Chain A
Amino acid sequence: MAALDKETTDKIDVAYVARLARLYLADTEVQTFQGQLDHIVGYMKKIDELDLSNVEPTSHAVTLQNVFREDVVKPGLAVEQVMANAPAQVSDQFQVPKIIE
């Protein structure tokens, strides 16, 4: 597990990861989380004790395959209902601050 070896010297970059997650954190939060998460991540490394080289990953609790629906149109929600939940709207659209491309 080369990545983990590298990782032991790396600390979780809380500020960077929070940016990826689009989550503003106050400086005090960054500090608190840094300590707590380093502690937690340190504990998680426990799985590195295991030899996993010949083990297949499990991504689903049950083994299923080919679960399809037929290509049939079904009624959805009314626009009034949808807009009733919208924090802001403009001409039946969800309004957001101007997007810069």
Chain B
Amino acid sequence: MRYLTTIGLEVHVQLRTRSKMFCGCSTAFGAAPNTHVCPVCLGYPGAMPVMNRDAVKMTIISGLMIGSRISEFSKFDRKSYFYPDMPKNYQISQYDKPLCVGGSVEIDIDGVSRRIGVTRIHLEEDVGKNMHFQHSSGIDFNRAGVPLMEIVSEPDISSPEEAFAYLLALKQILLYAGVSDCNLEEGNVRCDVNCSVRPEGQKEFGTKTEIKNLNTFKGVLNALKYEIPRQVDVLESGGKIFQETRRWEVETGVTIAMRSKEYAHDYRYFPEPDLAPVVTSCEQIEELRRNLPELPRTRRERFIQQYSIPEYDAGVLTADVAVADFFEQSAKLSSNPKAISNWIMTEMLRLLSEREMDIRKVVVTPAALAGLVKLVDEKVINSNSAKEVFALLFEKGGEPDQIVREKGLVQVSDSGAIEKFVDQAIAENAKSVSDYLAGKDVAAKYIVGQVMKMSRGKANPQLVASIIEDKLKVEKMKRGG
């Protein structure tokens, strides 16, 4: 029997704020345990939350990016459950009035694009972190209270690959929006995955399981690749799927049911009395919408049109918003966007990946790259020299024309000087000359190489080649005549 899969994702994204959701503690990653804490995020008696303006704004921007309806009236609620990493034993979250409702994310699977629906985006606070020791556990509350946006998808996803594509597309959008660093290593994005299978032809969804707290996209992919056949196997062998929470074990590659003593969840949501509701006017929404960054897809299309670059280039350049920004800034300063694209796609991305660097941290400026392209186009330097200049720009920054001057890389296009090199090369390479005369055209290339060497790379290669060709023709006529 064939089975249909239904997947829904709850993605928790850490927002790019400096301070926590409800207090002034830092959100910086990697601090010593319990050094970014205060009475509010430790749940001390008497402490009260106050909303971070930017966190709310970033959530609304995220909603606008994916086409959500922004709630005119939104509020926070208390979600009660006890856990040692939860300072108040309730989490301030949003229940029935989230900031954003609806929306969708477009994905491409095998060249076909489709939309995955988003149910809602709400804002909440993160919990602390548990460390497990031999006989006890330890809690670090640095992360407690960090703003998290929870993006809940519709159960629209039908394969592990689609789930993976959805996550990549979502991450790309959030990076474009500038609302999160989406740094998976630092736990900026964590997913809960709901998944069920049902025999083809059955209308209602099967019983779902929830795989909690996956912190890599590969983890989501692999967990689903395990969980779906597991559910099918259970059903095939006449078994029953239990609605349960499972955990993905990376080492063994299986999902296992969690041994939680928790009773049936009863979160006892009620409106947070310590916080006022968030009321967003149409004017405020329109203001944010006007200043919204472009979506990755829109930008890709625009690059193709505006800069006349191939679709492939546009795809590579827009994958990372910072790369796209770099390209666009350079291209605007240049008359040759395709050359800019080539430099970024080859030299720049190669060097970045070799050094495991982010383009946001490079010292070479878009203006410098545009300048370099201009020097090549105007034949001031040849492509060999240009590579050398780029390497220097990448290392130390600076202005390309200054580097060219300092390093004496100006292309030699003085035919008199080149002729002297050519004469010398022909005299010193009699064998190659006779090979050429014997009909081996490649031999001319060797002579070109020799000339370039003599000019220490600065000779205009086209000029060199044409002079050599002329001279060899003359030689041929001489010998033939």
Contacts and interface: CB of A to CB of B under 8 A. Distances in A.
B477 interface: no
A6 interface: no
Given A68-B52, A74-B24, A95 B136 contact: yes
B126 to A, nearest CB: 16
Given A59-B273, A97-B137, A98-B137, A77 B53 contact: no
Contacts of B37: 76-77, 79, 82
A71 B259 contact: no
Contacts of A68: 50-53, 56
Interface in B136-191: 136-141
Max chain B C-beta neighbours (<10 A), residue from A20, A64, A68:
A68
B56 A101 contact: no
B37 to A, nearest CB: 5
B53 A69 contact: yes
Interface stretch (A25-33, A44-52, A86-94): A86-94
Nearest to A101: B258
Interface string B16-43: 0111000111100000111111110110
Classify the secondary structure of B's interface with A: loop
A98 B34 contact: no
Interface residues of B, number: 55
A72 B137 contact: no
Contacts, number: 127
Given A20-B263, A66-B276, A77 B18 contact: no
A71 B278 contact: no
Given A76-B25, A77-B38, A71 B17 contact: yes
A78 to B, nearest CB: 8
A96 interface: yes
A93 B139 contact: yes
A70 interface: yes
A96 B89 CA distance: 15
A65 B136 contact: no
Contacts of A59: 75, 270-271, 273
B32 A65 contact: no
15 contacts: A20-B266, A20-B268, A60-B271, A66-B276, A66-B279, A69-B51, A73-B25, A75-B24, A76-B37, A83-B34, A91-B138, A94-B84, A96-B84, A99-B130, A101-B258
Closest 9 CB pairs of A and B: A74-B24, A93-B138, A76-B38, A68-B53, A64-B276, A71-B54, A59-B271, A94-B139, A99-B137
Interface of B: 17-19, 23-26, 32-39, 41-42, 50-56, 75, 82, 84, 89, 130-133, 135-141, 247, 258-261, 263, 266, 268, 270-271, 273, 275-279
Given A59-B271, A99-B130, 18 more contacts: A22-B89, A59-B273, A67-B275, A69-B52, A70-B54, A71-B17, A73-B19, A76-B36, A77-B42, A79-B37, A83-B34, A90-B136, A90-B138, A91-B138, A92-B34, A93-B139, A95-B136, A96-B139
